[in-house]
């Protein structure tokens, strides 16, 4: 397993991209609009996603600002098989809050687990990360 990305919800994607790329010196690695879901995902980092963890900026089109308390999204971990990993986590007493399956408006197989404090951890199946 390896750490993939941390997701942050942003109110103004262009402003955030300018900050992360121009002020912090990251690169825009990929960006995709999901019109059916009315959101955009942009991934920024210092190296390719295959070489290290990055930041996912999520812009929900109708939301212009967030409180810091709900701006944080999740930590993502790449797994070989999200279905098997969920079964293992359940067997170990962990809480799976979204069973493994394709993401809405895409084909990537994901699942979510929750830590004891309520923070979400996304499991992303390695071979399905095309979208």
Summarised one tens digit per residue, pLDDT across range 63-120 is 998 887 788 889 899 999 999 999 999 999 999 999 999 999 999 999 999 998 888 9
Type and span of the H or E element at 14: helix 13-18
**pLDDT confidence of residue 43:** 98
Kindly provide the residue ranges of all beta strands, DSSP E only, lying in 10-108, ordered along the sequence: 27-34, 39-45, 54-60, 72-79, 95-102
Q: Is 65 a catalytic residue?
A: no
70 or 5, which is more confident: 5
CA separation for the pair 26, 47 (Å, rounded): 8
Q: What is the mean pLDDT of residues 15-40?
A: 95
**pLDDT confidence of residue 129:** 59
CA separation for the pair 32, 24 (Å, rounded): 21
Q: What is the mean pLDDT of residues 6-17?
A: 94
Q: Could you say which of 14, 62, 80, 122 is catalytic?
A: 122
**pLDDT confidence of residue 70:** 80
Pairing of strands 109-114, 39-45: unpaired
User: Structure tokens of 35?
Assistant: 């019109």
Domains contained in the chain, CATH given: 2-128 (3.10.180.10)
Residue 5: which of 97, 130, 124 has the closest Cα?
124
CA separation for the pair 105, 80 (Å, rounded): 22
Which residues contact residue 51 at a Cβ distance below 8 angstroms, ignoring those fewer than 6 apart?
Answer: none
List pLDDT tens digits, range 29-56: 999 999 999 999 999 999 999 999 999 9
Residues facing residue 3 across a β-bridge: 77
Q: What is the mean pLDDT of residues 14-43?
A: 95
Q: What is the mean pLDDT of residues 10-16?
A: 95
Residue 121: which of 58, 79, 66 has the closest Cα?
79
Residue with tokens 């019109």: 35
């Amino acid at each position: 397993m390896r750490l993939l990305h941390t997701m942050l919800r942003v109110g103004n994607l262009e402003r955030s991209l300018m900050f992360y790329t121009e002020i912090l010196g990251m690169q825009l690695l990929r960006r995709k609009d999901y019109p059916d879901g009315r959101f955009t995902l942009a991934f920024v980092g210092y190296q390719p996603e295959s070489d290290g963890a990055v930041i996912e900026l999520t812009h929900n089109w109708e939301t212009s600002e967030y409180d810091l308390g709900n701006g944080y999204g999740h930590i993502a971990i790449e797994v070989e098989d999200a279905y098997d990993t969920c079964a293992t986590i359940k067997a170990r007493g962990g809480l799976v809050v979204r069973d493994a399956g394709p993401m809405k408006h895409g084909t990537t197989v994901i699942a979510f687990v929750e830590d004891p404090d309520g923070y979400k951890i996304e499991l992303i199946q390695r071979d399905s990360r095309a979208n």
